[in-house]
Amino acid sequence: MKCNIEYICEPFNFPKKDKIMTSKQIILKNEFSLPCIKPDLEQFISSTATAKIIEYKTFDSPLGTKVILKGNIDMQILYVVDAPCQPVHAFDFSIPFETFVLSCKPLPDYYSCCNCLAPQVLIEYNEIKKMTERCITYIVILFIWIPIIPCTGRNYTHSCKPEYRINKTAENVGWAWEKVR
């Protein structure tokens, strides 16, 4: 009997380290009861999960810029019941999440106006276990990151504020917005 399903993200699905401005991992763990209209769970067949960021906002703090994120993980579980007619059933549910990511340097107020910030999320680990015929537990680890702004050449003009551009450092390890003179 398949009483649990485990998913581990392949390393090649992660962004490269040099493309990440800042990142964070969060763990979500909870129990979920099958909807009353669904028959009892005998064993799992498969599950799919998709994480998405619904909204985000930024504000400056003494430690840098904080990006507050809200999102959902949508899960669908396919399972077998102990019944001769219609033995396969499915149910879906949504898991909300909220967190923040701290950027080590302050960002200009207008930085998020044209999605230059573009926070991303990836399901790093997902495990679903059958507790009873009506109850499952899940553990999800999310990897959330803010990608480094794509630059072409040495300078990149901000699409909403053309009077600003990115000036990459000589060592090519950092960046800063500067006003075009």
Quickly list DSSP for the chain. ---EEEEE--GGGSPPGGGEEEEEEEEEEEEEEPPTTSPPP-EEEEEEEEEEEEEEEEEEETTEEEEEEEEEEEEEEEEE-S-SSS-EEEEEEEEEEEEEEEESS---GGGGTTTSS--EEEEEEEEEEE-SSSEEEEEEEEEEEEEPPP--SSEEE-SS-TTEEEEE-TTSS-EEEEE--
- pLDDT of 30-83, one tens digit each? 999 999 999 999 999 999 999 999 999 887 788 878 889 999 999 999 999 978
- pLDDT of 105-146, one tens digit each? 655 544 545 446 788 999 999 999 999 999 999 999 999 998
Region at 87 (left for phi over 0; alpha for psi -120 to 50; beta for the rest)? alpha
Residues 81 and 56 placed together within one structural domain of the fold: yes
Q: Which domain holds residue 171?
A: 151-181
Measure the CA angle with vertex 151, ends 145 and 155; round to 5°.
Answer: 135
Asked if residue 174 has pLDDT above 60, the reply is: no
Residues 131 and 174 placed together within one structural domain of the fold: no
Cα 159 from Cα 149, distance rounded (Å) = 12
pLDDT of residue 57: 87
Residues 107 and 41 placed together within one structural domain of the fold: yes
Confidence at 173, pLDDT banded by 50, 70, 90: very low
Alpha carbon separation from 7 to 29, 45, 102, 126, 127 (Å, rounded): 15, 13, 28, 5, 6
pLDDT of residue 20: 86
Residues 117 and 168 placed together within one structural domain of the fold: no
Cα 131 from Cα 32, distance rounded (Å) = 10
Confidence at 167, pLDDT banded by 50, 70, 90: low
pLDDT of residue 162: 55
Residues 87 and 143 placed together within one structural domain of the fold: yes
Asked if residue 152 has pLDDT above 50, the reply is: no
Number of domains in the chain: 2
